A = this chain, B = another copy of it.
Amino acid sequence: MAESNPTALVVSAHSADFVWRAGGAIALHAAKGYDVTVVCLSYGERGESAKLWKNEGCTLEHVKTERRKEAENAAAALGVHDIQFFDIGDYPLGITEDAKYKLVDTMRKVAPQFILSHSLDDPYNTDHPATTKMTLECRMIAQAWGHNPGEKILGAPQLYLFEPHQTEQCGWKPDVLLDITSVWDKKYAAIQCMQGQEHLWEYYTRVGKQRGVQAKRNSGGQAGGKPVEYGEGYQSIFPRMVGEL
């Protein structure tokens, strides 16, 4: 039954972030049978749609419609189970109590094995750390027995931070390198759905290759290592409980 599939949740500030930064993880886990839910807090309609705005007569509604289509197409390419658009506005994000409780609801409903979101810091884009802060706050609320008593509370899913645009400026340090070679074609297909940001296609293809080389090296050094071609990096927030090192 569908309800017994493992699940994952992605919280994306703008509607394209989940593609560049976590598209491989999404496609990979979807292929493994996970139901992956993506929450886009905004469409990035004001701040990440320069190409559309350069057209005469462009309106906010038009941008949102176009961005939504792109995101839905990308989600389909990645095998996303459910994509939700909170439409809270961007640059800056309009984070309210309501938006928080809506995210808490989603967290409880999805009951994810893990959550993906942005880096803790980003001087270029304050929407990104604001999203992560909100995600941590909502994770806490979703764990509270006294919030909407009677609902099944959230467990303790790991929060993995995906890769920001300029990693070193954001204090982001990956401790996990995920092999996404087997789903690279899907990630690249999703990337190509982002018609408005074509200048980033090759940038994030190169990111994938660099993380692939690093994954290979960290799995075997000069002695060889797993034949990884494309990778994605993640930074974990919480320690993980293991039964073997």
B140 and A125 form a contact (CB under 8 A): yes
* A179: nearest chain-B partner, CB-CB: B243
Give the secondary structure class of A's interface: mixed
Alpha-carbon separation in the docked complex, A160 to B209 (Å): 27
Q: Select which of B113, B123, B168 is within 8 A of A174 by beta carbon.
A: B168
Tell me the chain A residues, 191-245 only, with Cβ under 8 Å from chain B: 202-203, 206-207, 209-210, 213-226, 228, 231, 233-234, 236-245
- Assign chain A's interface to a size class: 35 or more
Tell me the chain A residues, 171-199 only, with Cβ under 8 Å from chain B: 172-179
B239 and A176 form a contact (CB under 8 A): yes
Alpha-carbon separation in the docked complex, A160 to B46 (Å): 26
B140 and A244 form a contact (CB under 8 A): no
Alpha-carbon separation in the docked complex, A95 to B193 (Å): 38
Alpha-carbon separation in the docked complex, A124 to B218 (Å): 10
A245 and B45 form a contact (CB under 8 A): no
Q: Can you list 26 A-B contacts with CB-CB less than 8 angstroms, sorted by A residue number? A: A29-B245, A46-B141, A46-B145, A46-B146, A46-B147, A50-B222, A91-B144, A113-B245, A123-B136, A125-B140, A126-B133, A143-B222, A154-B223, A155-B220, A155-B221, A155-B224, A156-B225, A158-B245, A165-B217, A169-B173, A169-B239, A175-B236, A176-B239, A178-B244, A210-B210, A231-B241
Interface residues of A (CB under 8 A from B): 8, 25, 28-29, 32, 45-47, 49-50, 53-54, 58, 60, 63, 90-92, 100, 113-114, 123-127, 133, 136-137, 140-141, 143-147, 149, 153-156, 158-160, 165-169, 172-179, 202-203, 206-207, 209-210, 213-226, 228, 231, 233-234, 236-245
